[in-house]
């Protein structure tokens, strides 16, 4: 016979799932949303960028991306962690450019500057016709962007996507990286299947804050590394691609100057 507490509070699978969800949400709240970050979120809500944060899309050591509700649709909210672990993951070449652009005294100015930089680079790439999430706004360490996906779920990263036409994927990668190089005038600098989304048969590039100018001394080296990672990925998937051939297509001699 069931115990009285089990009659009043049955141990249904839904209750277990709810407790697990609440525990995860509490952990995420502690990890990402300190008091200053909550104030930034509140500021963005008061300015109409979104109404509520729903759930995480992805989380990592640098920060997390969350789906948020706005009216009948969604936006993506990226929250950078404020801390030394985040700072140590930023590539030196991008930090060097950031320091030239703004006065940075400590982490409390570095992370907001990095957030603002990502917003600026997204806008620059959109203007050049590169397929990236539209930047919508930012406050402190919180960036609001276009949501890529549908109500059923966010777009998968390329590493997890099911791609039927690898030839079309290769051509799309070539076109987008070349557009980033010219007319965008930028090199992503950390491009891989982990920071490219695949949605509607097309790629969408994300995580662009570390991008550097085409005039940067390391630009061509970084571009070679980017296309090398993607050539390896395509080859593993069954579409053999030589990195040098890939590089020649995205940065032909006429576009090198």
- Catalytic positions are 190, 207
Residues contacting 165, CB < 8 A, separation 6+ = 201
Q: Judge contact between 68 and 51, C-beta under 8 A.
A: yes
Dihedral (CA of 154, 157, 162, 163) sign? positive
- Measure the N-to-C terminal CA separation of the chain; round to a whole number of Å: 81
Backbone phi and psi for residue 54, each to the nearest 5 degrees, phi listed first: -90, -60
d(CA 133, CA 149): 11
* DSSP 8-state symbol, 92: H
β-strand pairing of 73-80 with 142-146: antiparallel
CB atoms within 10 A of CB 241: 21
Tokens standing for residue 232: 């390896």
């Amino acid at each position: 016979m069931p115990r009285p507490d089990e009659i009043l509070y049955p141990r249904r699978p839904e209750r277990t799932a709810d407790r697990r969800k609440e525990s995860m949400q509490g952990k995420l709240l502690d990890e990402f949303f300190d008091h200053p970050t909550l104030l930034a979120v509140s500021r963005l809500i008061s300015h109409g960028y979104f109404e509520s944060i729903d759930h995480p899309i992805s989380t990592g050591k640098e920060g997390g991306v969350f789906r948020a509700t706005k009216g009948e649709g969604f936006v993506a909210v990226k929250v950078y962690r404020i801390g030394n672990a985040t700072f140590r993951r930023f590539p030196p070449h991008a930090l060097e450019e950031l320091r030239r652009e703004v006065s940075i005294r400590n982490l409390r100015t570095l992370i907001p500057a990095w957030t603002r930089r990502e917003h600026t680079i997204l806008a620059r790439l959109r203007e050049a016709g590169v397929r990236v999430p539209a930047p919508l706004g930012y406050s402190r360490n919180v960036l609001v962007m276009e949501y890529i996906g549908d109500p059923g779920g966010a777009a998968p990263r390329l590493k997890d996507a099911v791609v039927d036409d690898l030839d079309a994927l290769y051509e799309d990668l070539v076109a987008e990286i070349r557009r980033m190089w010219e007319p965008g005038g930028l090199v992503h600098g950390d491009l891989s299947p982990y920071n490219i989304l695949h949605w509607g048969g097309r790629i969408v590039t994300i995580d662009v804050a570390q991008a550097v100018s085409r005039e940067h001394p390391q630009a061509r080296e970084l571009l070679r590394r980017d296309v090398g990672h993607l050539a390896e990925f395509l080859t593993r998937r069954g579409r053999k691609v030589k990195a040098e051939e890939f590089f020649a297509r995205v940065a032909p001699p006429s576009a090198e100057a």
